[in-house]
Amino acid sequence: MVGISARALAKGGGGVHCITQQVPKTISIG
């Protein structure tokens, strides 16, 4: 999980958005 978030942040894009697209099951914010 940390790797994904770190990569998303490094890319400069919405970290939460990137994570939700990768693991929508883990984070069910909507």
Distance (Å, whole) CA 10 – CA 29 = 22
Question: pTM here?
Answer: 0.24
What residue type is assigned to position 20 of the chain? T
Residue listed under structure tokens 């919405």:
14
Number of domains in the chain: 1
* Residue 9 structural domain: 1-30
CB count within 10 Å of CB 8 equals 19
For position 17, what pLDDT does the model report?
59
What residue type is assigned to position 27 of the chain? I
For position 8, what pLDDT does the model report?
60
**pLDDT tens readout for residues 1-30:** 566 666 666 565 555 555 556 655 655 555
